[in-house]
Structure 1
Amino acid sequence: MAKVISLINLKGGVGKTTLTVALAEFMAAVYGLKVLVIDIDPQTNSTVALIDEHEWKRRNVRGQTLLSVFKDSVNKYPVFSADEAIIKDVSNVGGGIKGLDLLPSSIDLIEFQDEVLYKGKGVTQDSVMQLRNAIADRINEYDMVMIDCPPDLGLFTQNGLLISDYYLIPVVPDILSTYGIPQIVQRINRFKKNTASKISPLGLVVSKYRAQASVHKGQLHRLKSSAVKLGYQRVFSTIIPENNQSAAAMDYSASYQNLQEKYSYNRPYQEYRQLTEEVLKYVKR
């Protein structure tokens, strides 16, 4: 049975997409797991990090993205097909990593969400079940499912949370990136109670860490000491330092023979591999 992890932070720029993609690639390539990435962020960053932008555009025009999951709820004739939308063996490593699949996002989700809000429909019990209903027949073909959520707790994020076993919060250890953590935990606890979902906190992953920055050191200490009290369970031991290679690795136009080449042969390759091992250790499979 698949284990599902949503990655979420209310602030952008914390390395959420990089972490989603890296964990998925290492789980598939190093640990031999069958992994599905679901990109529910309208920014489509995970999507274009794993497939060519022209391929994404072609699929978007044909309705072979996550957008169709939500449009089907208002259209008379449903068009979404998981078989057609899920792209197999994605990544810019080795021409694609076997066992790593993608359900791509669409920038048109922004317009759809605005339309829903404009019509005053809001988020309902039925509307947060759309993703679950759409992929119910396929999800358990995978060992792990990684969901890249937008930086909010709206309709799309709630669809991801409903099917998730865990949520993971990537943070940069500064004031702005960590300020909303209690709100995330509280809102998800309330969502869990209201929907009877099974989601639990997996922990915080510190990224873009600058060892020489006193603010980062101080915030890291506070995050570790507050983990149980604030309810996010733990701060992962593996810390992802600030580096240019991680950002460059998300450019699909560059191709790599293996993960060592993509993430550099020393760092951050070792950090991502260690973090993947640590995440899998805490996931009950």
Structure 2
Amino acid sequence: MKSIVIFNNKGGVGKTTLLCNIASYLKIRKGKRVIVIDADPQCNATTYMFPYSDIENIYKSGNTLFKIIKPLQRGKGYLKSDLPIITSPNFQVDVIPGDTQISLTEDFLSKDWLDGKTGDYRGLQTTLLFRDLLEKLNADYDYVFFDVGPSLGALNRSVLAASDFFIVPMSSDIFSLQALENISKSLNEWKFQLERGLEDYKAKEKEDFEINNKIIKWNLQFAGYITQQYTAKTINGKKQPVNAYEKIIRRIPSAIQKHLVANNIIQLRSNKLGEVPNLNSLIPLSQSSSAPIFNLKSENGVVGAHFNKVKEYDNTIKSIVSNLQLNID
């Protein structure tokens, strides 16, 4: 099983739309066992993948990600009851729904992180709550995707500390470039602090910190980037970004190499997984239908030239998924 976070410190880069469509493509087209964990307090992935009429019932049931965090807050350790998993009818992936209440856990996670990085058991247990969740999911899935917000706060730190890989979606603007340095600095600091905490725990307790009989270590690796949201023009039959975007796009590879690839242990087949041009009205159609873009049909409101756009996006996601699998499998 591979766990993957799609993350950028800058918001508005199309992260959730990309994640949900990659996850759904792996399920529908590739036949993989896939689950999405909505760890963004804005709950955008949950809202996207389920009809609006279902959302209220999801939250009334209490079967959300907050159910997993709540026992830790109450000092009862990791969740021992069934996980809150439901299936998206159109995306066809399993989902642990998000919950706005998880935004209230930042202080709790921050406090226990301070203890965890000094080797305290309770602090490490809290910090690694998502590693415990991944162990519970390990036998049932090929891929786990985490949707997270754009912050470098305690919640995202816990998700990234537990995961195997992260993907960076890049919009074609200067702020996405600047965010790369923030990500690199934060990940390097978190890795150092967690590893020191694990070493201190071992020194005090004379044993390694384990979850499900597995010794815990920092596993996170960069899996590639995707450029998004540029306006394309056609030159000699080939689509290219217009000049204003192209100037930024040309700077992305070197920034990625400097801030993210240089820290990797694994060697990637390609740092760039693909690029997604402007999709115009396909995104609102996809959102209103709670259906993946590559699988939109006439009953979802697709008409005329939209069909070609859907086909184009299908090919785009196919290529991105193929490159991702080459990098991490």
* Worse overlay, 264-273 or 14-23: 264-273
Tell me which of 219, 228, 232 is aligned to 2:257.
228
Per-residue deviation, 1:78 = 7.4
Tell me which of 79, 90, 93 is aligned to 1:92.
90
Equivalent residue number for residue 13 of structure 1:
12
Q: Which structure: greater strand fraction? A: 2
User: Using a 3 Å threshold, how does the CA distance of structure 1 residues 48 and 81 change in structure 2: closer, same or farther?
Assistant: farther
Equivalent residue number for residue 177 of structure 2:
178
Distance 1:160 1:82 in 2: 21
Letter of the 1:275 counterpart: I
User: Using a 3 Å threshold, how does the CA distance of structure 1 residues 77 and 230 change in structure 2: closer, same or farther?
Assistant: closer
Give deviations 1:148-195, integer Å, cap 9, x for gaps. Answer: 111112222122112211111111011122211111022112222333
User: Using a 3 Å threshold, how does the CA distance of structure 1 residues 84 and 34 change in structure 2: closer, same or farther?
Assistant: same
Equivalent residue number for residue 270 of structure 1:
315
Letter of the 2:90 counterpart: N
Per-residue deviation, 1:269 = 2.0
- Match of 2:250, SS? helix
Equivalent residue number for residue 276 of structure 2:
240
Asked if 1:217 corresponds to 2:246, the answer is yes
Q: Please give the root-mean-square deviation of Cα atoms over the aligned residues, in Å.
A: 2.7
Report 1:77-226 matches (<5 A): 80=79, 83-88=82-87, 90-92=88-90, 97=92, 100-113=93-106, 116=108, 121=111, 123-124=113-114, 125=116, 126=124, 127-195=126-194, 196-211=217-232, 212-226=241-255
Structure with higher Rg: it is: 2
User: Using a 3 Å threshold, how does the CA distance of structure 1 residues 22 and 256 change in structure 2: closer, same or farther?
Assistant: closer
Unaligned runs of 5+ in 1: none
- Match of 2:132, SS? helix
Distance 1:254 1:183 in 2: 33
Per-residue deviation, 1:137 = 2.0
CA contact (8 A) 2:273 2:324 kept: no
Equivalent residue number for residue 32 of structure 2:
33
Distance 2:220 2:292 in 1: 35
CA contact (8 A) 1:92 1:252 kept: no
Percent of paired sites with the same residue: 23
CA contact (8 A) 2:293 2:310 kept: no
Give deviations 1:202-249, integer Å, cap 9, x for gaps. Answer: 121101122353231111111123332222476425210012245225
Letter of the 2:314 counterpart: Y
CA contact (8 A) 1:131 1:159 kept: yes
User: Using a 3 Å threshold, how does the CA distance of structure 1 residues 252 and 131 change in structure 2: closer, same or farther?
Assistant: farther
* Worse overlay, 239-248 or 199-208: 239-248
- Match of 2:274, SS? coil
Distance 1:73 1:280 in 2: 34
Per-residue deviation, 1:83 = 3.3
Q: Which structure: greater helix fraction? A: 2
Per-residue deviation, 1:79 = 9.5
- Match of 1:268, SS? helix
CA contact (8 A) 1:82 1:138 kept: no
User: Using a 3 Å threshold, how does the CA distance of structure 1 residues 256 and 4 change in structure 2: closer, same or farther?
Assistant: closer
* Larger relative contact order, structure 1 or 2 (CA cutoff 8 Å, min sep 6): 1
CA contact (8 A) 2:229 2:276 kept: yes
